[in-house]
Amino acid sequence: MLEVGQKAPEFSLPDQNGVIHKLSDYLGKKVILYFYPKDNTPGCTKQACGYSERYPHFAEKNAVVIGISKDSVASHKKFEEKQNLKFTILSDTDLEVIKLYDAWKEKKIYGKTALGVIRTTYLIDENGIIIKANDKVKAADDPEKMLGEI
């Protein structure tokens, strides 16, 4: 897990519409950067919908929400439309940023050990510095918890 106090690593990834986003595009705003395993699964849907419902509150606090998973741009677009999501979701099919942010680890899935995305949330300040880091994320609680952290 990346450390609180360190500069968040720069990245460049496509969103659900194929538009490229860089972390540096968001300097001057707080960024909730969260990594999740898979579009349209129960936990990931609860987490995404929670962020979407609270998005106006994040915006009032000069913050943006960015979700990242290894799903494709097309999968993200379907997820956005089905759930009416109001924030950016980035596609990292090569796992480059997921690994850079230490969210790709061994985990147990149905009793088997496999590599996968560990649900991880970072809060990055207006200058690009990590001010909160959590890899013990409860999907349903994460949006409210992060809103309280801002």
Write the CB contacts of 19 (distance below 8 Å, at least 6 apart in sequence): none
d(CA 134, CA 36): 12
Residue 89, class by beta-carbon neighbours within 10 Å (0-12 exposed, 13-18 middle, 19+ buried)? Answer: buried
Instruction: Map tokens 């419902």 to a residue.
Output: 53
The 3-state DSSP class for residue 7 equals: strand
Q: Which two tokens stand for residue 59?
A: 């915006």
User: Catalytic site residues?
Assistant: 44
Q: Hey, what are 110's tokens?
A: 């149905």
Helix, coil or strand: residue 67:
strand
